[in-house]
Amino acid sequence: MAYQARHIEPRLRTLAQRFPVVVLAGARQSGKSTLLAHLFGKRARTFVFDPVSDVGNARRDPELFVLHNPPPLILDEVQHAPELLPALKRAVDQRPGQHGQYYLTGSQQFQVLARAQESLAGRALLCDLLPMSRGELLDQQPAGLVQALFGPRPVRDAAGLLRRLQRAPRPQAEPGLYERLFRGGYPGLLRFKTAEVPAWFDSYVRTYIERDVRTLRDLNDPHQFSRFMRLLAALTAQEINASQLGREIGVTPRTATQWLQTLIGSYMVVALDSYAGNTVKRLSGRAKVHVVDLGLACHLLAISSASALQDHPGLGHLFESYVVTEVLKQLSGLSVRPVAWHWRTAAGAEVDLLLERDGVFFPIEIKLTARPTARDASGIRSFVDTYPRLRIGPGIVVHGGNELFLVDERTVAVPVDLV
């Protein structure tokens, strides 16, 4: 199967020319190993670590491993050999000014990020790799909403954003929306027929729980954890309370919080904090969770096909999570990523996704409708009215139709195929 390019490639090449260590973290099967092999595999040897065998005696004698395996090296799933990190630090310090020495991957954010930052502070830079975006699956360069908002020239108003998006190319042929949601974006599914997708995800979930979760938590009841995953899938694109989630399946609030942190740390879900006008309030609001891959969400919800998804009662929330995660995937390729929140008032006014960069806020509403109206932009107007002193860029309503147009003087309706 031909290699599918990833949009983060230019950034990784640049970082490899600036830092001695690059850490690429992401979910199991998100394509980390394939990406690094494609970029650096011709000149770097690869070691793949696992929790059972001590590859190259890296855990037992990390200094000897580093001594007899000079860089450049690709060290895959390095969370299974954390003893290596101090030895890598010492090796890097012995070669000052030499970039691109070690390329590390890991599928557990907490372990990889915390230990790498502690042991390799100032020497390593970490990048996240989510499952493939729509543009990557179609083998097309990014040219949609994120590029229009955060490209070389800033967008100042809705009319300017509309003109920029009108020039963006649209794909000529691609799977329908429900097919895209049902299959998800894991690279391993590219060679599978749609009918084989459920079996792939069944194996994926089992492997994830047995190999990843058990190394992060003392998991006594895998069945309960599976139920917890299914519950989160049912609540995707909604505000959550970990204590309430625990009560739903009969586990303690502490266990539910730890399990949620595990899913976030292993890139299964992402949590958007609630935005408020000051830092204290911003951190005290409820987070909204999104399952990172919609194919996984469909599997956890026992949705059997793309046509069954079309009639599912949770389709609106699944569509929202799809759009949010598509945006987040594209943001990962930027050198300076915007901060992402959601916004909701006690009265129910809300903005599904709020991006901020350079002091400018971009409110995004997500509606599964063919042609949004001014009513669908009411949350954006509420946000503008609530914060009159903020610098607020054009509002955006991402929708399920095909038309690109102005909803009002400050809001653009953007079809999902331009995200």
pTM of the model: 0.92
* Span 274-327, pLDDT tens digits: 998 775 555 447 899 999 999 999 999 999 999 999 999 999 999 999 999 999
Place of tokens 């669908």: 376
Whole-number pLDDT of residue 36: 97
- Output the six-digit token pair for 370: 């063919």
* Span 68-84, pLDDT tens digits: 999 999 999 888 888 89
Whole-number pLDDT of residue 174: 66
Whole-number pLDDT of residue 276: 83
Rounded to an integer, what distance in angstroms lies between the CA atom of residue 344 and that of residue 382? 10
Rounded to an integer, what distance in angstroms lies between the CA atom of residue 259 and that of residue 242? 9
Rounded to an integer, what distance in angstroms lies between the CA atom of residue 83 and that of residue 289? 33
Is it the case that residue 369 has pLDDT exceeding 80?
yes
CA dihedral for 47, 50, 55, 57, sign (positive or negative): positive
Question: What does the angle CA 47 – CA 16 – CA 69 come to, to the nearest 5 degrees?
Answer: 30
* Span 224-277, pLDDT tens digits: 899 999 999 999 999 998 778 888 888 888 889 989 988 998 899 999 999 987
CATH class of 9-129: alpha beta
Residues 343/354, Cβ–Cβ less than 8 Å: yes
Whole-number pLDDT of residue 42: 94
* Span 187-238, pLDDT tens digits: 999 889 989 999 999 999 999 988 778 766 667 778 889 999 999 999 999 9
Query: SS3 of 342, please?
Result: strand
CA dihedral for 47, 189, 266, 126, sign (positive or negative): positive
At 38, the amino acid letter reads H
* Span 334-366, pLDDT tens digits: 888 999 999 998 888 899 999 999 999 999 999
- Spell out the domain ranges in the chain: 9-129, 136-418
Whole-number pLDDT of residue 97: 87
